[in-house]
Amino acid sequence: MKEIDYIYKNFDPNAFAKNLKKRTKNRQYEDGSTFLTNIVLDSVRDINQIKNEINRYQFTNIKQNKVFSNFAKKFKNNYSDKDIEKYFFEKMNVFNNRIHDLGDCEYLLQMHVNCGEFFRKLNKFFEITFYAQVTYKNNTKNNSDGSFGIFEDVFCLYVPLNKKFYLFFFGYEEDGNDSSGTIKIFSKKPDKNELIKSIKSEDFFRYSDLIPKDEKIIKEYSFFKFDTAYNRIFSDGNKLKHETKPHFTNEEDYFNYHNTKGESYIASNIVLSNPEKYFKKYFKSWKQVYPYLAVRSDKMRKVKDNKFFKFVMSDRFNYRNNKKFIEKIIYSYDDLEGFLEYIPKNIQESKTFKEEIRILRLFRGKNKNFIIKVFRTNKDKLEDLAKNYMPSTIFDDSYFMNELIKLDINFTADIGKKLKRNKNFMSKVKKLLDTK
């Protein structure tokens, strides 16, 4: 089945009514012309997709959404489609786990939604009572080169389940800076004059503060015809098939699937959690292994608490005796002394490593003045010094970060999460940025 057909067939009008009520308000303005399309997408039932997401919470440590994690804890592997419907659809109002990535199908669906075609096809649940287009005397064009300046499409959608009339706008600009939103929500059916008055009076369009009001031209239409050429223009979206992925009742089958034809990051997460069982199935050489040890987020952890590190550096493998491997990960841990306990003496005593370890110990010390002096005298090597030699705590240290940003404004991108919550420090950064 085509993905666009799947969306129509599995669209839930009750979910849409709830989502619409929750996410719309008078004088609502959003960048991009996809806000109503996203509400439609969030209202499409996809049990298979939900099952796949439940698997992720059952068998990996990738946690993002309590709705799924709570279900996985409660039901384990013992659940049915009815359990999913009752919990996700009825209780939590969650119908799929779709990512709004403006892919081929989403672009095509946006055309269906923004001209009203989607709601006309579902006229059992919706009625469009008014169509209009807003153009501007000196800012809307109709040139032979295809340029059009700016304009807005507007329609009023009646949603019986909510007993409301929604006046939506979709603004278009030839450079792609589109916008969309809700002009007004009515409890009673508005007549044409009331709708036109709302469009005229509301200063919600992107350029409303720049364009004189007397430039605004409102033209009513019988409807916005859906151009079937869009199905050809967005042919990739129109041809796209709905994907059904398998779901699993045990971890090993889940791992094997993602390790061969699924998503590699899921397989790697399982390996990191249970290296004893899956390491050799996933990793084929040391070049594949070291990136999982040279991760900045692991720097603050004590080596003795890092299960994966201890497994890799154990006697069952020869990684600890591989100089090239050690060179790749030597900067990855604040706990330098804990790290060195796993490195053979012959490597530590080699001339190259001995000097590198000596320098690392200097930077891991507590002499801030020494470190700042090194920064100031090595401006051309700042990035390597800060990100390789310094402990990760530097990025949450206001003194160090203040000096680094003074030397190189690009270090603002590296401010730590904790330091970003320091209002006094961030106000100083803002002032500094304003002067650049």
The answer on pLDDT for 42 being more than 70 is: yes
Give the pLDDT of residue 101: 67
Q: What is the pLDDT of residues 65-84, one digit of tens each?
A: 899 999 999 998 899 999 99
Helices (H), 234-304: 235-239, 251-260, 264-273, 275-282, 286-289
Q: What is the pLDDT of residues 286-329, one digit of tens each?
A: 999 999 987 756 677 888 889 999 999 999 999 999 999 998 89
Given a contact cutoff of 8 angstroms between Cβ atoms, the answer to whether 128 and 220 are in contact is no
Give the pLDDT of residue 36: 96
Q: Quote the pTM value.
A: 0.77
Give the pLDDT of residue 425: 87
For residue 343, which of 332, 353, 358 has the smallest C-alpha distance? Answer: 353
Cα–Cα distance, 77 to 250 (Å, whole number): 8
Q: Which of 51-55, 263-267, 391-395 has the lowest mean pLDDT?
A: 391-395
Mean pLDDT throughout 11-35? 93
The answer on pLDDT for 355 being more than 60 is: yes
The domain locations on the chain are 3-43+101-239, 47-91, 248-276, 283-360, 368-435
Give the pLDDT of residue 206: 57
What Å distances lie between residue 313 and 61, 316, 318, 332, 358, CA to CA? 22, 8, 8, 14, 22
Mean pLDDT throughout 186-198? 95
* Residue 248 amino acid letter: F
Cα–Cα distance, 190 to 198 (Å, whole number): 10
Confidence of residue 433 (pLDDT cuts 50, 70, 90): confident
Cα–Cα distance, 341 to 337 (Å, whole number): 7
Question: What beta strand segments (E) does 82-149 contain?
Answer: 127-136
Cα–Cα distance, 236 to 112 (Å, whole number): 15
Paired tokens of 218: 């409102």
Q: What is the pLDDT of residues 336-347, one digit of tens each?
A: 899 999 999 999
Q: What is the pLDDT of residues 158-185, one digit of tens each?
A: 999 999 999 999 988 877 788 899 999 9
